[in-house]
Amino acid sequence: SMDDKIRSIIGKNVKAIRKSIGLSLLDFSIVLSISKASVVKIESGKTGYNVDLLDNIISFSKCTLSELSNKDFMPSANLRDKLIKVHKQHPQFYSILSQRPEISYAIKFKLLESDFLDIPREINEIKKFFEKHGWSYIGTSISNALKRLPNLIEVNEHGEKKNTFVYSRKK
């Protein structure tokens, strides 16, 4: 039905918003003041939910209902930075938004938006890149996340160092 179709579009877009600000399901549910289970339901597009939940998403994300229900919606690339500015006076939102984002966010919206990987880098160099943003990740987490992006990231053995890999942007 039409409802199911819209619910599915909204679910996909809500998930895109959450991913584009680098929040886990739990952190997202906290800033929205709803249960984690409700976030899962909304994102999966399955069951009915009340308009209050959408209101919470709209007031936090600053996206409109027409954006949320548009099948071609794409969150802006700097949405997290924008929301940090917008919610500076809101301690609950700000404390979560100023924490370290999920690694996939850090890679997609910081590392790959920069020219840092235009040359091959070791994990420790990438680790330092994130530390400059105030985010500390474990080296293995970074390398595992990078290896899950074979269409974007090239992984090669280091020329001189044994058992060491270098990571670069796929050309």
Please write the tens of the pLDDT for every residue from 17-67: 999 999 999 999 999 988 899 899 899 987 766 777 888 899 999 999 999
Residue 87 has pLDDT above 80, yes or no: yes
Q: Provide the sign of the torsion angle of the four alpha carbons 101, 105, 107, 110, taken in this order.
A: negative
> Mean pLDDT of all residues in the chain?
91
pLDDT at residue 130 in the model: 96
Residue 116 has pLDDT above 70, yes or no: yes
pLDDT at residue 48 in the model: 65
Q: Which residues contact 10 (CB under 8 A, 6 or more apart)?
A: 42, 45, 54, 68, 69
| Phi, psi dihedral angles at 36 (to 5 degrees) | -60, -40
Query: What is the 8-class DSSP label of residue 78?
Result: T
Q: Which of 11-15, 45-49, 82-86, 101-105 has the lowest mean pLDDT?
A: 45-49
